[in-house]
Structure 1
């Protein structure tokens, strides 16, 4: 047995959980997923990479990639098998500091480097291992928040549904950059830049399954920006902002939205909010451009850094960094509201992806 599609003896699939080793985490945890309950059972840990805070999986090749969110940022590759993860070579430098996100696009691996405000692109070998050197695209700009926006801070890099474009979300310069890989080298160059409201600090975005609407989640203000996406021209157009509310008295606890997810059927959007430690549900019953906030629930722990939907769309998983757990929720098929179903201890949890 081998590959990312391997199942355990109960017929469940795998989940991979990133964590901060500097905060007591165990690296990348491989867990079995119970197909009937969604429960996670940790099986093994791979600790060869420091602070693997974000992961992405090439399911067809059975290779898992992780950033090393360190001052000298790097990426690591692992072969995913039924028995766990095996490193594919040594970590490779990304040419930037503090990488927080990564994606696969155009046959290359791309990282968003928060500390240096850049996006890196690295070639992949035939076996899925990463090689260098990295091609680095450095962002420019700043924002009005002197503590968080003194310089660019790339926080996410993601391909669009067509695979033609790569979008980089920059918290420091309040912008989303649409990039295109150079045909000869695969290095990224900026095709278009979409400015968002100053001081809001865009962190992550997600596409609606139909591919023509993008939801941008802001960290410095609890806001969701709805944008139209044109995959033919590579243009992103802001349409409206929707508040991301949280529980408690207004202003009692500052809200730091972190992660956003869209249901596979395109009916709901969910956002994780740190500080308030909540999961917020938006209904798309009025159409993809009309998210309506319909519910707020506890995240099951403290400081939800990541939020993931399982492949079936029936469950949500929150990686709660400060409480050191991953909590899963059953999604009400009518309302989209998450109902807590269980949790598992994962120190300094930061990210969840599914095989």
Structure 2
């Protein structure tokens, strides 16, 4: 099959927008084609969607809007409440930055988001992609956001065979060259939808694609091979001992992690440091939150973060009702779901409860 002839960028935009007008996904943060969405909704959804799927985000988005319908209300909320509402979405620095950004927009900008990429980039937690996406979708700026779906569409459309992440600048330039001056926000969302529903990673549905006859990768028969990704390095494994401490009055000991670092500001089941070497019993005891008669529970808890695997051994102890802890706070067990524990900590709690009942 011969390669497609060069097609003007406005032709690509015209075809894709016509397709989007018919097939746009209905998402709670979106406006109908041809209309602008609420900047607060766009910002909130884009932060949530970083490293997370649309299906996972939708209930969180609805929950946040029901709790905090405007950026002013989100800014006024206690940060601990925002972190708890975020629990389960992962990448918790996003939640801390979300709250900080809301406070800047509410208190310093009168609740009005900047309408340019440069202005948006000055806000906490907003990087190049998020700034470009908000500028395009909320303010119809001719920006060139580049998420995973758009990367895949552009890599195939122009047969960019350089591996990611090194090819990002090439892809960004290619995307920028085809962004139309009219309806750039709809164009960005159309590219996202095309990647999500048609130009899929393993089984591209080229027969249904409005750009198939101008797609170089499709013409060459290499669409499924693009984009090329550099080989991933093997993830290391870190280990820890978690201390499940139950007081006789039915309370469980939790503590809040430091603001900076992984799971920053979130409540956790107290544990040793997270290390690559396994923990010797004596060294682990030295990091227990209180002095108690600890029993190792059978089995381990496993979790995977972006950069490492995590294996946790759980030790349990029951202590008298009057017991105090130098650090941490006692949570009634029946209210543990309100603590907003991150996923790995919920796994530890579930494991401890299950093993204690056996």
Same fold per TM (> 0.5)? no
Q: Which gives a bigger RCO, structure 1 or 2 (Cα 8 Å, sep 6+)?
A: 2
Q: Which has the larger strand fraction? A: 1
Larger Rg: 2
TM-score, normalised relative to structure 1: 0.24
Q: Which has the larger helix fraction? A: 2
